[in-house]
Structure 1
Amino acid sequence: MHILAIGLNYRTAPVEIRERFALAEQDKLQALTTLRKTKSILECVIVGTCNRTEIYAVVDQLHTGRHFIKAFMAEWFGVPREEFIDHIYIKENDAAVQHLFRVTCGLDSMVLGETQILGQMKDAFQFAQANEATGTVFNTLFKQAVTLAKRAHSETDINKNAVSTSYAAIELGKKVFGYFNDKTVLILGAGKMSELTAKHLHANGAARVLVANRTYERAVALADRFQGAAVEMEKMKEALALADIVISSTGAEGYVVTKQDVVEVMRKRRNRPLFLIDIAVPRDLDPAINDLDGVYLYDIDDLEGIVEANMRERVREAEKIGMMIGEELVAFKSWLNTLGVSPLIHTLREKLLAHQQEAVRNIQNKCPELTEKEMRMINKQTRSLINQVLHDPIVRLKEMAGKPGAEEALNMFITLFALEDQFEDAAQQNEREEEAYIPVRHRRILIGQEA
């Protein structure tokens, strides 16, 4: 049994290639069902976002798994193999698990540390699980990945530092005012950057959002999306008098707000402080505004300096998450190594406990004068002795499961403890119990061993 991750993302493929592998919502189930029924595939999850399309699979053999997944991609998406083969990456076993952890934690995202991918990975797994495309391995692995990502974001500061200019503008405003709950914000412009800014402001609880734009209808459309109010550009000075924070991104030629405009506005404001952020290129706000008392002006260069510093902080936090990923990889490998020996451990324990129970019954038959309390003590102590005797063999058994030549060593273990008949019965029972949620083709094969 092996784990594969095959896909393409914003680093390996241009958008004209990535868009050809977009998976429509209505096609997800059929695509997943087709992949799950593909030869060599034991479990599978398909992840599709605007920046990546990835297939995670448990396969019986590496070479056949790689071949049939690439064939599925070519056939399902209608893209000849030679047109995408140079754009895909293939991760195997440990590398595949590590890749899954990194993606889920946001370390493989275009914006380092973003959290949206966590929800997308979780949704993809739950969809596959609900449609019986996952089993023992992925049910454990993906839950571990989601838990790890949540812990990574809660125990580090990776997503607490703004790495986009629009969000950096909001963060700068928060550093000055502390919060936006009682603040009026004026947005000049209704383009994409203004939309992102309005979104961040709304999410941060701005009490009142005003939008001014030369095309009034666009100002209305943007303001309505965030429960704000539109302002005609001719009445901009009136809005400036009301605002605590001004964020400008119009793309206009020349200054939208001049020093003289602000001088007039500050008289009406009775010198109440005014905080302005200019994220336009060329600049919307006259740099001379910064000479006025009680007025604080920041431009795109100021924000980019903040973004660069914050990105360095995110990289440092990503290193912490990398260490967490290493620990989780070891934990998953340890669990995976024991997967194939669980029936053997169960068989050995049951055999020794059966001998213990027989011994307790013999004691009770030969010493009928023993009280119920004394028999409970004997039963407890003898079970404790069994657990002590089992400890070292079980530890060694788990260690052997992850090493080369594991099958031969495990067969020797079965022979030494005379477990042949019991192990076969336990394995069959375990397989019957797992069939309720493991795909039928999921055979019990040690990790790293070809079928």
Structure 2
Amino acid sequence: MSLLVVGMSHRTAPIALLEQVALSPEGALELAAAAHRREDVAEAIVVATCNRTEVYVDAHTFHGGLAQVGESLAEVTGVPLDTLTDHLYVHYEDRAVSHLFSLACGLESMAVGESQVLGQLRESLASAQQQAHVGPSLNPLFQHALRVGKRAHTDTAIDEVSRSLVQLGLDRARTVLPDPRQARTVLVGAGAMSGLAAATLARVGVTDLTVVNRTRERAERLAATHGGRAAGWEHLAELVGAADLVLTCTGSVGHVLRAEQLAPSRAGRSQPLAVIDLALPRDVADDVAALPGVHVWGLSDLTGQPDGAGPAVPDAAAAPTPTDSRQVLQQVQDLVTGEVAAYLTERRAQQVGPTVAALRARAADVVDAEVERLAQRLPELPQREQQEVRRTVQRVVDKLLHTPTVRVKQLVSDDRGDYADALRQLFDLDSRETATVSTPPRLVPPRGEESA
């Protein structure tokens, strides 16, 4: 089996392409199901955020899994595989584990150290569990990744290093607004990113906040948490047109703010309007920026990522930072390195376990066969003596197997050789014997999924 991750993020693809492959929660489910149905894929999890789409699989073969995940991506996103290929990254085995752990710690994020990704990973795992797309490979891997991410935020000062995209947007807004704290502010959306935005606005001192969302109840909950007020979706254009500052991050497919909607409410207004579009795909149409006094900043403006084809965003962890920030980032990287080593050691120990179990089962069969042969040759031997002979033979076998089985478990942390395979070769163990104690049945998706 091969652990494999195939993905695309803000580091490898332009914003315009990321918009094309951005997936709704339903789309992520569809992609996971499409990958899981493939012949070479045993388990699958899709991580789809505003700036990345990744597919994690446990594949029977590397090349087969890679090809089939690529086909699934093209099928579900509608983007030709030839277009995707130049911007996809592939991580395999140890590097796949390291990538996931780094992602959980926020080292792969646009805003280094942000903790929102932890919730996104947790939701991805929960979704895959509900759909029976994960098992003994990906389930413990993601559980471990979540623990690593939590450690990064509790054991290091990574939270103090990160500057959220919201904060970056507010920095831009200050170029046109005298004091964002006094701005009439509208927050469009009430999801996880909106929650982060509302918390950031409250922290910097924004007091006039209106939350607009298609589901009024969610808007009311978010507004109440941060001292704002809620409004219905039908008032969106009116509220945005009268605002000084707008942050939008709905996760909708398609624009929610267009010039034709805002033009009536902006008519006759001279005060500037700062719009921070944190969504991918973008919530704000290009023509909005053409309205008088309206200034729009999207993710490409906040991160330096081009909208069209061009170089990937530089590694955020390598960007110039104060000395103390670099030290914190190094602490987190060291944490990831240690956790990757611990995870791989544990996994190798688990992988050698079935071989050891098969070896001991083979030994037990040999003992049974020899004792049975003895009983046939010496039928007059009393039962008590037969049992003593069995115990004696078993003790001899156990002592002979003790050193190699203990030693192989000690050596699993050494990745210079496949010691489990050496055991199978030395003792002529049939691979099918090992499979009976190591391979669970292929996961079957819930009824109806295959036709979804």
**What TM-score bracket applies, with the shorter chain setting the length?**
0.5 to 0.7
Q: CA RMSD for the aligned pairs?
A: 4.7
2:333 is the alignment partner of 1:326: no
Distance 2:75 2:209 in 1: 50
Q: Please give the per-residue CA displacement for 1:111-146, whole angstroms capped at 9, x wherever unaligned.
A: 111000011012112211221111211112111111
1:73 alignment counterpart = 73
Distance 2:434 2:165 in 1: 60
2:333 is the alignment partner of 1:337: no
Cα–Cα, structure 1 residues 387 and 161, in superposed 2: closer, same or farther, change >3 Å? farther
Alpha-carbon offset, residue 427 of structure 1: 4.3
TM-score by length of 2: 0.57
2:425 alignment counterpart = 412
1:139 alignment counterpart = 139
1:124 alignment counterpart = 124
1:296 alignment counterpart = none
1:3 alignment counterpart = 3
Structure 2, unpaired ranges of 5+: 171-178, 188-193, 211-219, 230-243, 247-268, 273-294, 296-318, 372-382, 386-390, 446-452
Q: Please give the per-residue CA displacement for 1:269-320, whole angstroms capped at 9, x wherever unaligned.
A: xxxxxxxxxxxx9xxxxxxxxxxxxxxxxxxxxxxxxxx9976544321211
Q: Decide which moves more: 44-53 or 67-76.
A: 67-76
2:21 alignment counterpart = 21
Distance 2:166 2:32 in 1: 38
Map 1:198-209 → 2, pairs under 5 A: 199-200=199-200, 202=202
Secondary structure of the residue that 1:4 maps to in structure 2?
strand
Cα–Cα, structure 1 residues 313 and 249, in superposed 2: closer, same or farther, change >3 Å? farther
Alpha-carbon offset, residue 165 of structure 1: 9.4
CA contact (8 A) 1:106 1:112 kept: yes
Distance 2:41 2:405 in 1: 34
Alpha-carbon offset, residue 76 of structure 1: 1.5
Letter paired with 1:211: D
Distance 1:52 1:338 in 2: 33
Alpha-carbon offset, residue 103 of structure 1: 0.8
TM-score by length of 1: 0.58
Distance 1:62 1:201 in 2: 46
Cα–Cα, structure 1 residues 389 and 4, in superposed 2: closer, same or farther, change >3 Å? closer
1:448 alignment counterpart = none
Letter paired with 1:439: L
Secondary structure of the residue that 2:427 maps to in structure 1?
helix
CA contact (8 A) 1:45 1:125 kept: yes
CA contact (8 A) 1:106 1:114 kept: yes
Distance 1:191 1:14 in 2: 30
1:46 alignment counterpart = 46
2:291 alignment counterpart = none
Cα–Cα, structure 1 residues 352 and 156, in superposed 2: closer, same or farther, change >3 Å? farther
Secondary structure of the residue that 2:56 maps to in structure 1?
strand
Q: In the alignment, which of 436, 440, 443 is matched to residue 439 of structure 1? A: 443
Q: Please give the per-residue CA displacement for 1:248-275, whole angstroms capped at 9, x wherever unaligned.
A: 9899989xxxxxxxxxxxxxxxxxxxxx
Distance 1:387 1:117 in 2: 50
Distance 1:353 1:14 in 2: 61
Secondary structure of the residue that 1:160 maps to in structure 2?
helix
2:393 is the alignment partner of 1:399: no
Aligned length: 317
Letter paired with 1:428: T
Alpha-carbon offset, residue 338 of structure 1: 3.2
Distance 1:166 1:125 in 2: 26
Structure 1, unpaired ranges of 5+: 171-184, 214-220, 230-247, 255-280, 282-307, 359-363, 367-378, 442-451
Q: What is the aligned-residue identity percentage?
A: 26
1:211 alignment counterpart = 208
Q: Which has the larger radius of gyration?
A: 1
CA contact (8 A) 1:159 1:314 kept: no
CA contact (8 A) 1:9 1:52 kept: yes
Map 1:326-405 → 2, pairs under 5 A: 326-348=337-359, 351=363, 390=402, 393-396=405-408, 399=411, 402-404=415-417
Letter paired with 1:73: L
